[in-house]
Amino acid sequence: MCGRLSQYRGIHDFVAALSIPDAMINHVGDEPLARYNAAPTTQLALLHLEDDGLHADTVRWGWRPHWAKDRPPPINARVEKVALGPFFRAIWPHRAIVPIDNWFEWVEATDKTKQPWLIRRKDREPVFCAAIGQFPSRGAEPRADDGFVIVTADSAGGMLDIHDRRPIVLSPELAREWLDPATPRERAEQIALMQGESSDVFEWHKVDKAVGNSRNQGAALIEKVA
């Protein structure tokens, strides 16, 4: 999975599609998020379930344990290792959903340049990406080491013939189960390993190469190009 995504609709739109009935503790705001070209280290809207209900927070995309200051914070975690490896052990129990509209991948074009592609659900519903992280504590200020990673899976030879990894995208039903702290770790691992949405759920198209510069924003970046 390449490190670029869109998160442009409002948080209430995402939560409505998730169908969690409880009131949301919203630290994101009510306006459209309008992030058409979000890059790693960006503060993104993230959903996590705590004892007092569903939280919507802005959290940095990228995380590393305190003992790994000698390397850049990863933005993704491979599902084959995330539950058992030492790197993400501290945050594996802290599950979240990153609700997005689409993500981008790059593939080598015939002229040896990289052509960006947009990938989204065919039904245009939100894309619920499984994530884990360290989130703001209830009532506390965000900490410098808060962050999250998106859990990725092997895409069986290259999802859409574009990339060999992709985010684990969950249906609303499984996203709710993933978020629930009462879901056992073994069940969460099973969801991540076996029950992500298949490639049949998605569609994709070429977009303008301007998306390669993360300073570029706006709806034009998600439009189909010839």
Active site residues: 2, 105
Burial of 78 (0-12, 13-18, 19+ CB in 10 A): middle
- Rounded to 5 degrees, what are φ and ψ at 141? -70, 150
Query: What does the radius of gyration of the chain's CA atoms come to, in whole angstroms?
Result: 17
CA-to-CA distance for 120 and 86, rounded, in angstroms? 32
Alpha helices in 20-133 (DSSP H): 79-82
Give the whole-angstrom CA distance, residue 10 versus residue 175: 18
* Paired tokens of 63: 């995380």
